[in-house]
Chain A
Amino acid sequence: MLILKTLARNKPMHGFAIAEFILETSSGVLQVEEGSLYPALQRMLLKDWISGDWGKTEENRRARYYSLTSEGRKQLARELDRYARVSQAIAAILQPV
């Protein structure tokens, strides 16, 4: 969900940029092994949620730029919806009566 959201919010990004973005936006709270990003990306490629196109970085290095497909947009909407419901429920339970 985070990756999808990241890609939805920005223009196509390569792997490092995605990791950086998530790290920065979450102010360093969400920190996992950065390598796990790649199996996740591949899984989404296989499911056709995102597409990857090879391009050049500013320093003229080859890199794969990922962008959201329409299927991925739908998936993001579904996941956001589910997340909203779950977090609402949690909030409702935690709310002091």
Chain B
Amino acid sequence: MKLLRRIAAWLHRDDETRGLREEMELHLELRARKLHQAGLAPADAGFAARRQFGNAAVYQDQISALWGWTMWERFLQDLRHGIRMLVKAPGFTAITVLTLALGLGINTAIFSAVNAVMLRPLPYPQSERLVSLWEENTQPQDRRFSSSGSPVGSAGGSQRTTVSVANIADYARCAAFDDVASYAFVPVNLTGMGTPQRISGEKVTWNYFSVLGISPVEGRAFLPEEDRPGANPAVIVTHRFWQQRLGGAADALGRSILLDGTPYRVVGILPAGFQSPVQLGLKEPIEVYRTASYANDLLVSRGDHEVNVVARLKPGVSVAAAQAALNGISASLGKQYPDSNGNFRAAIAPLRDDLAGSASQSLWALLGASGLIVLIACVNVANLLMVRAAGRRHESSVRMALGAGRLPLMRQLMTESLVIAAAGCLAGVVLGRLLMFGLTAIAPPGIPRIESAGMDWRVFAVSAALALTTGLIFGMAPAWHASQAQPVEALKTAARGTGGAAQVRWRTALTVAEVALSLILLIGAGLLLRSFSALMGVNLGFRTDHAIAMNINLPKLSYPEASARLRFFQKLEERVRTLPGVQSAAYANRMPMRGGWSSGIFIDGDADREVEPDFQAVSPGYFETLGIPLLRGRLLGAQDTASATPVAVVNQAFARQLMEGRDPLGHTVQHESDTPRISIVGIVNDIRRAGKEGEIKPEVYLCAAQTDLYPVQLADFAVRTAGDPRALVNAISREVWAIDKDQPVTNVRTMDEIVDQAVAQRRFQTLLLLIFAAVAVALAIVGIYGVLTYSVGQRLSELGIRVALGAPPSAILGLVLRQAGALIAAGIALGLAGAYGLTRFLEDLLFQVKSTDWRAYAGAVALLAVVAVVAALIPARRGARVDPAVALRQE
């Protein structure tokens, strides 16, 4: 209430002031009349009335202070003065505001990405109660658990895997959970609606949507009885699917769509904009959801870890409490089923944190780096302000001599700093938005939700808080120094205004800090750059140029037998080989860098010694198409048919790691004790199947024609061409449709693209950190240049005397450069110490490079030293060329 009255009074303050004056005048008049009536002369009565009244102006001041106007008025006055001063020095203002805008802009952009990916709640009701659940193998050397999927990642010595369907019912019994649902990403062939297409979909348990807190806008969610083997096939489609593929038809519910050749009835349509947890971080939209309908044998097979699990915690239950309850369940399962569950335990984490996953590491590192840039920008602006304050020492001194208090002077300077901070903040937010667009545009796929990065209150609050803090920090130093001014001393030295010893020390310290901070960034960028070049230098062991791979997933319904799938691919290879420009064609279960299979095998029937190499089914043309050279023995050939002796080719790593130095040729491998022994007939070169960051693993290449006994499915097709492989995509697709008009061709990528995509995230973070380091170095150079230029300007007369006394220009040059050298050396020493402490946080982002890699350190130091000295040379040369007559006349 009081505040409201104050504000109302402030808005009408002119009226109020006038009214008050009127009141007082009336008072004086009435008093004078009264006194006159009492017998005083009119003039005397007026004086007496005034005497009796006291000083009206003082009372008016008291009243305006009472209403809190004074503070405001002074602030506005300072503000006006500050803006005027800044407008008068446009160069200075532009540089400071730009410096700040750069720092704040970069920070705003990175923070908005951090916010989008890691901080903002997921788009589900009460999403903070959603947790992701996975299982961990506490004995990761036992790798038989994974038949199809590769392990998802590792956490603290134990290896993370997807969840065994059979265990879910036990976890759901945990009292901490409201409900538990499972889901798996399962693409599907959509036919009967134009060209056959492979679309993204999920297989989910019936309660999936209720766990997420989402209900369909049309129709209904799945029923429990639809989630059983043999139930009527039901599908829930996304709003987008309904709009784009069903034309938004009102009667879409109840329609049938063909998925993998089976008719599914549409029972529900999801709300527009719904994104499943899988969708976050995936570019292709997920369009259909089918029930998981787990087979009965899967529901009892606790060793098959196949699905993702999301659970909703009961209200008020913490993740830690739920984890503790789960540990109990894992332990009792381990006792009950020691074979399958002995080494496994269930783990949970908030769904949001789990989805952000690996992106969070590099984002935190980038946020840290952008924080350093803000610091550098701050230091730079503080430096500039100090220089400016030094120039205005005279002004301050005069004001102080005329009776200005220290406090109002400080306040004046602080207000100016805040004006700069506010302008910098505004410019920074605008720049940040622009940078953000750039950032999301070049961001590699796989960073969940980055596309939704934008301004929200959190981003804005952080930027504003940052601007205010920086304004206070860089405003403080000059304000403090101004308040320390000794008017007498300063006026004695007249307009020369040397900064004073303390000021020079301060500025030197700031410049040293700047050099140190930018060195830290430069070293960080250097480490990432070295990692990246190490990565690029990795030899994959196969040729990626002029090769294109695609996925042709034959549905089980039309191709139930392995032999049928083999016939399809044989036919396709024959047809494609005859296309002009095709040099060779190959098919396999998976091409390198596109997933694969690994399995336990016995060597020479020795059941006690089980090893686990990669285990691939490949066509005879595979080695030629991928350019994998044969070292010894022979390759697979057309003679290795289903009825011939089973043969395999292995790589060098197989010989090296699994044969204990023996020659693998002539030995056999065996998948299970009841499957035939496969003779090793050749040795080929090593490859890195998993890509540049993967390791070289032992490989067994089986002949595609001889793999119907094994759970590998032919699904990938690749072609080596003479020219641009992309030109052949349409021709190849036509050949596929000539064999089967309903068969989609998906995931078409040249091998080069695949390699490129695999390093995209690394390139992204390396590029960003390099840009940051460049910005930091540029700012540091401006700082060094500024300080030295100023210092040379200050010492002009001294240098003039030296020249007049016969000092050669080289001596003057040396003098200034020595000063610069000391600055740079101190900054480098400090920066090295800081980098040593900080780069260990980068360790997880490095590849084959240690965080203490001396080359990165040396390179960064050399680069910074060179540019810093160059920056110092300009003012130094100016000092050396000084004309003593001119310099002395300035005195």
Report which A residues bind B (CB closer than 8 A). Answer: 14-16, 19-20, 33-36, 38-39, 42-43, 46-48, 54, 57, 61-64
Contact A61 B26 (CB under 8 A): yes
Contact A46 B26 (CB under 8 A): no
Least Cβ–Cβ distance between A14 and chain B, in angstroms: 7
Interface flags for B187-198 (1: CB within 8 Å of A; 0: not) read: 000000000000
B34 CB contacts on chain A under 8 angstroms: 20
* With A35-B54, A63-B23 as contacts: A46 and B66 at CB distance below 8 Å: yes
Contact A33 B27 (CB under 8 A): no
A42 CB contacts on chain B under 8 angstroms: 20, 63, 66-67
Contact B26 A38 (CB under 8 A): no
* With A39-B66, A46-B66 as contacts: A34 and B27 at CB distance below 8 Å: yes
B492 interfacial contact with A, CB 8 Å: no
- Interface locus among B1-9, B349-357, B458-466, B761-769: B1-9
Distance of A35 Cα from B20 Cα, bound (Å): 11
A47 CB contacts on chain B under 8 angstroms: 2
Least Cβ–Cβ distance between A52 and chain B, in angstroms: 9
Distance of A15 Cα from B22 Cα, bound (Å): 11
Main SS of the interface on chain B? Answer: helix
Chain B minimum-CB-distance residue to A33: B54
Least Cβ–Cβ distance between A67 and chain B, in angstroms: 15
Interface flags for B15-33 (1: CB within 8 Å of A; 0: not) read: 0000110111011001100
Q: Size of chain B's interface in residues, with CB distance under 8 A?
A: 25
Least Cβ–Cβ distance between A55 and chain B, in angstroms: 12
B23 CB contacts on chain A under 8 angstroms: 14-15, 38, 63-64
Distance of A47 Cα from B67 Cα, bound (Å): 11
A57 CB contacts on chain B under 8 angstroms: 26
A46 CB contacts on chain B under 8 angstroms: 2, 5-6, 66-67
Distance of A15 Cα from B31 Cα, bound (Å): 11
Distance of A42 Cα from B63 Cα, bound (Å): 7
Least Cβ–Cβ distance between B815 and chain A, in angstroms: 64
A62 CB contacts on chain B under 8 angstroms: 22, 26
**28 CB < 8 A contacts A-B:** A14-B23, A14-B26, A15-B23, A15-B24, A15-B27, A33-B52, A33-B54, A34-B52, A34-B53, A34-B54, A35-B24, A35-B56, A35-B58, A36-B54, A38-B59, A38-B63, A39-B59, A39-B66, A42-B67, A46-B6, A46-B67, A47-B2, A48-B1, A48-B2, A57-B26, A62-B26, A63-B23, A64-B23
Q: Of A39, A48, A63, which is within 8 A of B63 by CB?
A: A39
Least Cβ–Cβ distance between B756 and chain A, in angstroms: 71
B62 interfacial contact with A, CB 8 Å: yes
Distance of A39 Cα from B55 Cα, bound (Å): 12
B58 CB contacts on chain A under 8 angstroms: 35
A19 CB contacts on chain B under 8 angstroms: 27
Known: A15-B24, A16-B31, A62-B22. 13 other contacts (CB 8 A): A14-B26, A15-B23, A19-B27, A34-B27, A35-B54, A36-B54, A38-B59, A39-B59, A39-B66, A46-B2, A46-B66, A54-B19, A64-B19
Chain A minimum-CB-distance residue to B34: A20
Q: Of A34, A43, A64, which is within 8 A of B31 by CB?
A: A34
Distance of A6 Cα from B878 Cα, bound (Å): 80
Contact A16 B20 (CB under 8 A): no
Contact B22 A35 (CB under 8 A): no
Give the residues from 284 to 308 in chain B that come closer than 8 angstroms, CB to CB, to chain A: none
Least Cβ–Cβ distance between B261 and chain A, in angstroms: 81
Chain A minimum-CB-distance residue to B19: A64
From A16, A19, A54, A57, residue with most partner B Cβ within 10 Å = A16
Q: Of B1, B20, B31, B52, which is within 8 A of A38 by CB?
A: B20
A64 CB contacts on chain B under 8 angstroms: 19, 23
Give the residues from 51 to 75 in chain B that come closer than 8 angstroms, CB to CB, to chain A: 52-56, 58-59, 62-63, 66-67
Distance of A20 Cα from B37 Cα, bound (Å): 15
B59 CB contacts on chain A under 8 angstroms: 35-36, 38-39
A36 CB contacts on chain B under 8 angstroms: 54, 59
Contact A35 B63 (CB under 8 A): no
Chain B minimum-CB-distance residue to A31: B52
Contact A39 B19 (CB under 8 A): no
Contact B66 A43 (CB under 8 A): yes
B22 CB contacts on chain A under 8 angstroms: 62-63
B27 CB contacts on chain A under 8 angstroms: 15-16, 19, 34
Contact B5 A48 (CB under 8 A): yes
Distance of A12 Cα from B636 Cα, bound (Å): 113
Give the residues from 34 to 62 in chain B that come closer than 8 angstroms, CB to CB, to chain A: 34, 52-56, 58-59, 62
Least Cβ–Cβ distance between A80 and chain B, in angstroms: 24
B30 CB contacts on chain A under 8 angstroms: 16
Least Cβ–Cβ distance between A58 and chain B, in angstroms: 11
A54 CB contacts on chain B under 8 angstroms: 19
B2 CB contacts on chain A under 8 angstroms: 46-48
Chain B minimum-CB-distance residue to A57: B26
Distance of A42 Cα from B5 Cα, bound (Å): 12
